[in-house]
Amino acid sequence: MIHSLFLINCSGDIFLEKHWKSVVSQSVCDYFFEAQEKAADVENVPPVISTPHHYLISIYRDKLFFVSVIQTEVPPLFVIEFLHRVADTFQDYFGECSEAAIKDNVVIVYELLEEMLDNGFPLATESNILKELIKPPTILRSVVNSITGSSNVGDTLPTGQLSNIPWRRAGVKYTNNEAYFDVIEEIDAIIDKSGSTVFAEIQGVIDACIKLSGMPDLSLSFMNPRLLDDVSFHPCIRFKRWESERVLSFIPPDGNFRLISYRVSSQNLVAIPVYVKHSISFKENSSCGRFDITIGPKQNMGKTIEGITVTVHMPKVVLNMNLTPTQGSYTFDPVTKVLTWDVGKITPQKLPSLKGLVNLQSGAPKPEENPSLNIQFKIQQLAISGLKVNRLDMYGEKYKPFKGVKYVTKAGKFQVRT
């Protein structure tokens, strides 16, 4: 399936290659560079490119391109999903998925890639299994290894590989047994000029950090499971239990993982926690415009809205902006034309606003449309959909774990059209 993989950095250098079948020359990437040039923006490079002898499927992650070479028909999502999994694994092993990290750990990267694919077909992609086969680099381990001469490579088949719970390794031990769940909800919304909601939706995930010894069997239940409309599960979740009782029952992987992601049913009205008052205008035949936005809380369930950032992609003709914020700080990058306003918290007594003048390129026609505002915010201890975890039970082990649930609401793709 996957023939070869090339890692390419932003400046177009191929800094790593790996072949699972016979070697494919680097020159195949020229087609990719060609497409990249045509696309202008990295975001617009088509993920699937056809060349005379091969097909290139690529992903763009953390300023790196993962370009895989394919020779025969294969579901493109299969490859894309796998490449993302590779990037996730790097992230997991090295803390970041960057060129420097990969170059520093090139041997581990190679060993990982060797285990993850055999003849182009995925072999082991579960992080728990991989970590047993190839231990992640830590400073302590490298010191110990250099003294004792032991290696980073496991010599027995990971237990998970053969069991029917491949995601968990056997013999996990912790002194403090803890299980944390983060319920993170994101509001995707498009708000139109007049402030009415064009489209709004809540997407959520439950990320878990489980540090429990042995083989714990957990079940997590909700006060209002019906809220979850469309759910996708980590493979550890027993689908049957969910279908019949709406309880998440699972033997968790060890460490951090995403338990479920869900969408809240669309019938429920979505509370929009902030509003924006805006007036942006560009004067005809003059080289300046006015810019004025104010943010205020709305339907915030009594919680503070924090971490507010407003990002605006200004039109090309804008040369500079001269603004005064009542709160926080702003930057305007004259090259990318991106205005970023870091607001911080909203205090209802004094609403934050950003006012000032916009300098336009003289002589150029005034922009057709006002830019839309992308807003980021965060509300702690609130799941905006009202989802609540009812209880977490553990079976199969005797000790008493420490349990914790945290709720956060964030803005997802939250856009205000002006």
Per-residue contact flags (x/-) with another protein for residues 8 to 47, judged by CB under 8 A: -----xxxxxxx-xxx--x--------------x-xx-xx
In angstroms, the Cα distances linking 409 to 64, 307, 341, 382, 386 are: 29, 11, 20, 6, 11
- Contact between 306 and another protein per CB under 8 A: no
Helix ranges, 246-399 (H): none
Determine if 288 is a binding residue for another protein (CB under 8 A). Answer: no
Q: Judged by CB under 8 A, which of 214, 219, 275, 313 binds another protein?
A: 313
Among 273, 315, 352, 401, binds another protein (CB under 8 A): 315
Residue 91 engages another protein in binding (rule: CB under 8 A): no
Residues, the chain? 418
* Residue of the chain from 30, 63, 95, 142 that contacts another protein (CB under 8 A): 142
Q: Which CB sits closer to another protein, 154 or 344?
A: 154
Nearer to another protein, 123 or 170 (CB): 123
By beta-carbon proximity to another protein, the closer residue of 188 and 397 is 188
Edge-first strand order for the sheet with 217-222 is 247-250, 217-222, 389-395
Q: Can you tell me the distance from the alpha carbon of 306 to that of 315, in angstroms, rounded to the nearest whole number? A: 28
CB of 255 to another protein, least distance (A): 16
Residues 222/246, Cβ–Cβ less than 8 Å: yes
Residue in 89, 90, 112, 137 binding another protein, rule: CB under 8 A:
137
Say how far apart CA 65 and CA 58 lie, in whole Å: 7
Q: Contact letters (x/-) for another protein, 227-256, by CB under 8 A? A: --xxxxxxx---xx--xxx-----------
Residue 103 sits in the site that holds another protein (CB under 8 A): yes
- Written as one string, the DSSP assignment of 45-104 is S-SEEE-SS-EEEEEEETTEEEEEEE-S---HHHHHHHHHHHHHHHHHHHSS--HHHHHH
Q: Is residue 110 at the binding interface for another protein, with CB under 8 A as the rule? A: yes
* SS3 state of residue 141: helix
123 binds another protein per the rule CB under 8 A: yes
Nearest to residue 406, comparing CAs of 377, 376, 378, 383? Answer: 383
Closest contact distance (angstroms) between CB of 382 and another protein is: 21
With binding defined as CB under 8 A, does residue 170 bind another protein? no
